[in-house]
Amino acid sequence: MGKNILVVADVRHQNVRQVTNEMIGAANELAQGGSVHVAVLGHEVNIPDLGAKGADDVWVVNDESLKNYTPSAYRKAVLEIYRQVNPQVILFAHSAVGKDLAPVVAMRLGLGQISDVTALDVSGDKPLFTRPIYAGKAFTKVTPKAEPYAVTIRPNNLQPYSGSAKTAQTHEVTVSFETPDLATVVREVVQKATGGVDLTEAKIIISGGRGVKSADGFAPLKELADVLGAAVGASRGACDAGYCDYALQIGQTGKVVTPDLYIACGISGAIQHLAGMSSSKVIVAINKDPEAPIFQVADYGIVGDLFEVVPLLTEEFKKVLV
Ligand code: FAD
């Protein structure tokens, strides 16, 4: 029998992020002929045609209290939609918001949770979710013990819905957000001017480590990133040395990324860095030390000085791309 699956859309700067399409893809597999419901929470969010992305129903809570994320307001909105949809599975993105919101909702509803899912197999009696353990050193497969349950999905890993477009029904939901309900009220969000492509959704990342030697040392990496339409990331070594902002840090205590192509420049490949990027689809390492551990996870390794290699790559890519 088909299931009801609820996807909580991942919204940033009033736009629905790509990982939402990947969650809807997973929801269609889990639903097995049932219904895929998508909750869009926020204030004046630009909502694309989610029917074309595989949604059967779209539940919208449009309220100023949801302009910026706060766990209390978002939890209230999700619980309201949850009551109406009564899903067997609820999916969140494994993003900054989803990682915070999923356990808050799961705890309130007494649900089990499977976090940071990178693959889904629905061929057996019960779905099998793959997730990393030991800081990404190994992967395990988990089956939920009971329904309903919550899941967070790592961006850039699952396939979006590829079936024919649906005509989604939209439901406007009104939730009253009284100030006493709200443990936290966000007054203002000050954006850091890191610019460029969003790291967690980027298809290509050029990352710099302590080997870039200075803030100016990131310049050739930025040029290559511009040519490839890539985001720039960093190791903690580079952040700690003050060469770049911590917003760029990738790894166990930074962002977890899964781009199609990850180019590591002057990064040694410490386990804590690998935890954030080792499931990238293709890894290229540029390092002047042939013994650097990054070469053990790299698909392609270039032993050389990044200040010679990176500009050469930029020139070659310019010939074919610009
Ligand atoms: P280094 O290890 O110093 O490596 C620099 C590399 O650059 C070397 O391999 C060198 O051969 C190469 N190099 C130098 N000059 C050149 C050149 N001109 N051309 C080419 N190559 C060159 N680290 C993270 O990255 N992310 C995390 O989230 C993170 N979390 C941590 C959490 C904890 C609890 C701890 C203890 C550590 C964490 N770390 C993290 C730090 C991690 O252990 C490493 O110290 C860090 O990743 C090293 O950064 P790096 O590779 O840039 O620097």
pLDDT tens string 19-53? 999 999 999 999 999 999 999 999 999 999 999 99
Q: Is the CB of 305 under 6 A from ligand 1?
A: yes
**pLDDT-derived band of residue 220, with 50, 70 and 90 as boundaries?**
very high
Whether the per-residue pLDDT at 171 is higher than 70: the answer is yes
Report strand pairing: 89-93 vs 149-153. Answer: parallel
Please tell me the predicted confidence (pLDDT) of residue 196.
Answer: 65
How far is the centre of ligand 1, averaged over its atoms, from the C-alpha of 279 (Å)?
Answer: 18
Neighbours of 240 (CB within 10 A): 12
∠ Cα 107 113 114 (to 5°):
160
**Higher-confidence residue: 319 or 136?**
319
Q: What whole-number distance in Å separates Cα of residue 130 and Cα of residue 118?
A: 6
Please tell me the predicted confidence (pLDDT) of residue 136.
Answer: 79
Answer yes or no: are the C-beta atoms of 107 and 100 closer than 8 Å: no
Q: Is the CB of 270 under 6 A from ligand 1?
A: yes
Neighbours of 215 (CB within 10 A): 13
Whether the per-residue pLDDT at 182 is higher than 70: the answer is no
- Give the percent of the chain with pLDDT over 70: 98
Q: Residue range 215-225: average pLDDT?
A: 97
**pLDDT-derived band of residue 181, with 50, 70 and 90 as boundaries?**
low
Tens digits of per-residue pLDDT, 274-283?
A: 999 998 999 9
Answer yes or no: are the C-beta atoms of 19 and 160 closer than 8 Å: no
Whether the per-residue pLDDT at 89 is higher than 90: the answer is yes
Q: Of all protein residues, whose CA lies closest to atom 27 belonging to ligand 1?
A: 251
204 pairs with which residues across the strands?
Answer: 261
Whether the per-residue pLDDT at 132 is higher than 70: the answer is yes
Residue where the block lists tokens 């390794």: 301
Mutate to test the pocket of ligand 1, among 214, 224, 272 (most ligand atoms within 8 A of CB): 272
Please tell me the predicted confidence (pLDDT) of residue 103.
Answer: 98
Report strand pairing: 11-12 vs 15-16. Answer: antiparallel
ipTM: 0.99
Q: Residue range 296-307: average pLDDT?
A: 98
How far is the centre of ligand 1, averaged over its atoms, from the C-alpha of 207 (Å)?
Answer: 11
Candidates 184, 190, 194; CA nearest to 254 is: 194
Mutate to test the pocket of ligand 1, among 205, 207, 210 (most ligand atoms within 8 A of CB): 210
Mutate to test the pocket of ligand 1, among 273, 288, 296, 297 (most ligand atoms within 8 A of CB): 273
Q: What whole-number distance in Å separates Cα of residue 99 and Cα of residue 86?
A: 22
Report strand pairing: 261-265 vs 282-287. Answer: parallel
Average pLDDT, the chain: 94
Q: Is the CB of 233 under 6 A from ligand 1?
A: no
∠ Cα 159 260 239 (to 5°):
120
Cα-Cα-Cα-Cα dihedral of 293, 295, 297, 301, to 10°?
A: 160
Q: Residue range 243-249: average pLDDT?
A: 94
pTM, 2 dp: 0.84
How far is the centre of ligand 1, averaged over its atoms, from the C-alpha of 278 (Å)?
Answer: 14
